[in-house]
Structure 1
């Protein structure tokens, strides 16, 4: 049986996709994620200290989450068990936990349980892990492409360290493409196939930060070129396999960042035509639509702000719609948001106000709030019961002159509204409120 099992494993290894065949055998050979795996990275430091706890690996596809989990188990001497949240239920979870208990008792060996797409686990399935994780019976590593703060139950999340995996840069993916070509991983597919630097750059760009996508595309392109009798991979063959023209989006190693920058700057310049063009270029180039949606949400607060408060509603609604419907229909939601954001009045006043407040806190440290704003049950409030009490605005017609800033900061103006759009009305209202506070009067500001 062992002989047949070994033969099966060997055949599976040969038949596996290029990305699987290229999985590194050491953490030192992992490309990217230096912020986690570099000499001073938190994951590397934890392994050096021998204190590996349960973890959530959060990041885009093709960034090495599964590979790193396998290599952590290998380096720490733990048995590696893997479950897919799509195909496994509570029964499978309990079976792994029972095996981990026997392994620990009989062999003294720990178990690393890797759960791919853990965000797809139901609450009941996640609950089944709690005691085993808390007791250290298994070291859980959950992988997810979704924000774990929304998708993983809080009880499990509090027992895990979250590690964010970054999308690979084009330079990172180029290194992997170079390994595939130069280290002989394509030898069985096309022993004499040459892949030039331009083609390597194009393969990396086509993956949009997903190494698995780039490597699988490379393998298919090399196979097609070999079938055509070519000895060198060319861009035309890559276009055929990718099913899109490279010239439409491929701009070299900085493509991703250049296009994102041009997109945002076009929105800021109130140029919907340019913003739509760069949106189209990114979508055709395989950019993650949720990346574009997130940039739009950030833009709505950073560059539009209170000049048009509805901008944030539109951007968030578009992001949610893209999550619900996906591509290709989600591009319609993005187009609506992009045209709206382009044509909004613009203001950076709220963003600049936060920066001023942060600078003050970092420079001078946090100052205590006035006692009348503190929780009345706190020791400070009880010790100063003779101090003036909190004035409840709703008992005073909605407006009070009582200062809310720390005493040393009273009169400071962090927020300086612009004259743009709705923020012009806010500016006038705030002018009157600040006059009331400086004078100590209780008059309600009148509508302008």
Structure 2
């Protein structure tokens, strides 16, 4: 039976670095389900995943979660428990050739000894469609049990065909309490952790636990650096030492991944909710994370019409001005223009009447088709148009009292349809009053909502 991992220190490693010289996060990697923290929602007693691990008969799965949440650790725990060969690759440096080789070895084991193969593929989201497709037959037929790990939303990054053949498990970021337990564990374990650690202030540990962003790897690495600094300086690990070791944590924002969608969604909803502080916060996260400011500006222009609309027509002018400023000024200064627009949009009165109006009109067209406009509204500029009756009888509103013509302009049979219903908020309330005045002036009967 082949294994890339086994119980204890005899496990085969991916590099030649001795375990004692490996970084603290590697040395303290949990080796059993009991040591793995923060994923009770997946590994509670009686759960399908826990049963698969304990019986050594895992099923194909995608482990999805943020960095440092335990995806690779869980895969290696499965490796220790599994009955069969375990092979591991990272999609960063593997391709279809490596996949075919794994499948070939799996076929040999199955035919020679009826031995199963568990294939752990880290960062599976980096495989393109063709590479993922190469896995499908082996996974579908049970030749290979696939365990894929990804930090990106699988519904965006993993083929639907492959997703349908695997069980998706979402790992959560570790809570500060979990991180603190891992730090304490490292300080109390002289073999795998930090032997004879210096004095460490509780506030320093709390800082590492709170500001590691739920990433055990970041917290343990910072602890190791803080201890090294304290030893070199002959002083305890205090708050300043811990903060220096942690530095400024890189934002867990990927402009190509699902966090890109999560934060723009949060910005839209916070701005729609008229909260300028939340709007500015999510804007800052996106810009600090490297988001393209032109993408943000486009969303502002859309929101100005979709969520503010005629309650404040100036919002569209502001959003367009911000978009122009982004192109003209660029980063970092254009964040000021975007911030001004975000605050304005958040505090503007809100209306989605225009959005709802076009939705209703579109739904009507899709359900009933496009009815022709009255002949007097149709194009009459070309030779022969009048012989077809085009444009004949058109009433020019500017020549009518009040600039209003009583001539129907909806297609025949749709005169009673109503798609735009102004709200009573902001400037749109004035538009609503004008609309009612127009209808009274024309003696127009009430219309039905489309």
TM (norm. structure 2) is 0.62
Larger radius of gyration: 2
1:87-130 deviation line (CA, Å, top 9, x unaligned): 11211111111122222333433222111111111222212211
Equivalent residue runs for 1:297-336 within 5 Å: 306-308=307-309
Q: Which residue does 1:241 correspond to in 2? A: 245
Candidates 38, 60, 75, aligned match of 1:32: 38
Equivalent residue runs for 1:46-445 within 5 Å: 52-184=58-190, 190-230=195-235, 232-243=236-247, 271=276, 276=280, 306-308=307-309, 337-344=338-345, 345-346=347-348, 391-395=368-372, 397=410, 417=423, 419-420=425-426, 435-437=446-448
Residues 186 and 193, structure 2, Cα contact 8 Å, conserved in 1 = no
Taking only aligned residues, the RMSD between alpha carbons, in angstroms, comes to 5.3
Query: How far apart, in 2, do the equivalents of 1:332 and 1:58 lie?
Result: 36
Candidates 9, 15, 18, aligned match of 1:12: 18
**CA drift at 1:7:** 10
**CA drift at 1:305:** 5.4
**CA drift at 1:43:** 2.9
Query: How far apart, in 2, do the equivalents of 1:140 and 1:79 lie?
Result: 12
Residues 57 and 83, structure 2, Cα contact 8 Å, conserved in 1 = no
Query: How far apart, in 2, do the equivalents of 1:55 and 1:266 lie?
Result: 37
Q: Which residue does 1:370 correspond to in 2? A: none
Unaligned runs of at least 5 residues, structure 1: 246-260, 322-328, 355-372, 376-389, 405-412, 441-448
Residues 263, 193 of structure 1: CA spacing in aligned structure 2 closer, same or farther, 3 A cutoff?
Answer: farther
Residues 210, 346 of structure 1: CA spacing in aligned structure 2 closer, same or farther, 3 A cutoff?
Answer: farther
Partner SS, residue 82 of structure 1: strand
**CA drift at 1:138:** 1.0
**CA drift at 1:29:** 2.1
Residues 306 and 423, structure 1, Cα contact 8 Å, conserved in 2 = no
Partner SS, residue 180 of structure 1: helix
TM (norm. structure 1) is 0.62
Higher helix proportion: 1
Query: How far apart, in 2, do the equivalents of 1:426 and 1:146 lie?
Result: 46
Unaligned runs of at least 5 residues, structure 2: 1-8, 250-265, 357-363, 374-409
Residues 132, 187 of structure 1: CA spacing in aligned structure 2 closer, same or farther, 3 A cutoff?
Answer: closer
